[in-house]
Amino acid sequence: MVSAASARPVHPEYVRAQNPGKTARKIATRIALIVVSAIVIVWIAFPFYWAFLNSIKPAVDTFGSKWIPWVQFEPRLDTWQRVWSIREVRQGLLTSATIGLGGATLATAFGVPAAYAIARFRFGTKGNMAMTNWFLSQRIMPPVIFAPPIFILARTLGLLDTVLALVLLAGTFNIPFVVLIMSQMFRDLPVELEESAQVDGASRWEIFRRIALPLVAPGVVASWLIVLAFSWNEVFFALVVASKDAIPMTMYIVGLSGTRGVDFPAASTMALLMIAVPTIIALTCQRFIVRGLSLGAVKG
């Protein structure tokens, strides 16, 4: 005899009813994100596209409404040839590269050990917060208040209108970025690794060089690239100490405004030259940037 349980009909698989309102909200949210993302991309990319067009347009079409190459106008490289043929432009690009690379290396060389010291040692009765705030204050204060003493110091030391002065200034004033970024990365490292090395007889310098530094190497590269960007775009301190032999590319771009207006084709070409070098470096070191900036973001 068949039992009642076995005779029970087999129900179809349960399917949760979909909420039409919830589905519509998801679709609306996705469309809104796509629209906002498109607006942001256009907002960011348009200045670069405008600069590129001005660099290949004929001078008479600079203020025109021709936006599509090979359709509305014939691209030309006259502006690129004219700008690159100027010796001061090539020298300015070399000066900017020296300031950027030198300032970033100097700030990283001094900032990383300082960040490790703040993360692992205690200074004073108030702890390390006062020292961290002091480093941060160096970037909060407006740079213009440092202009007179910097000019007097550079003149006293014989560093006026020298690339060395700009490298020292770029490295010194960007050390706080390295300290603030790297100190948190060193704090996220397990201190037990260093304690085990101390038990084995390793000194503090060996622990820093052989254990801590390799573990935060992506963060060091990311900090170096951030400082490179700030140093590469430096123009204020160049206006203070540079006059002839140490003029970076940024000052040439600023000085393109004359009595007849701004030379937009030349300014666009110089801007693209300035953008090209750090962009290539950033794309080459992209994986280090992602790993460095996300280091310690997720804790177990």
The DSSP secondary-structure symbol of 258 reads E
pLDDT, tens digit, 9 for 90 and up, residues 123-154: 665 666 666 667 777 777 777 888 889 999 99
pLDDT, tens digit, 9 for 90 and up, residues 86-105: 888 899 899 999 999 999 99
Q: How far is CA 226 from CA 85, 100, 169, 179, 288, in A?
A: 31, 10, 16, 12, 12
Cβ count within 10 A of residue 177: 22
Tokens of 277: 């070098």
Question: Inter-axis angle of helices 87-120 and 175-187, to 10 degrees?
Answer: 40
pLDDT given at position 277? 83
Mean of all residue pLDDT scores within the chain: 81
Q: pTM (2 decimals)?
A: 0.78
pLDDT given at position 195? 84
Whether residue 218 has pLDDT greater than 70: yes
Cα torsion angle, 155, 157, 158, 160, sign:
negative
Nearest 5°: phi and psi at 4? -70, -30
Give the residue from 190, 223, 222, 219 showing the smallest Cα distance to 207: 190
Tokens of 70: 């090979």
pLDDT given at position 13? 52
The CA distance from 180 to 133, in Å, is 10
Tokens of 227: 């400082």
The DSSP secondary-structure symbol of 143 reads G
Cβ count within 10 A of residue 185: 24
Domains of the chain: 25-76 (no CATH), 87-294 (1.10.3720.10)
Region for residue 124 given its phi and psi (left: phi exceeds 0; alpha: psi -120 to 50; beta: otherwise): left
Q: How far is CA 258 from CA 54, 123, 252, in A?
A: 18, 53, 12
The CA distance from 53 to 48, in Å, is 9
The CA distance from 108 to 292, in Å, is 14
Give the residue from 295, 109, 286 showing the smallest Cα distance to 216: 295
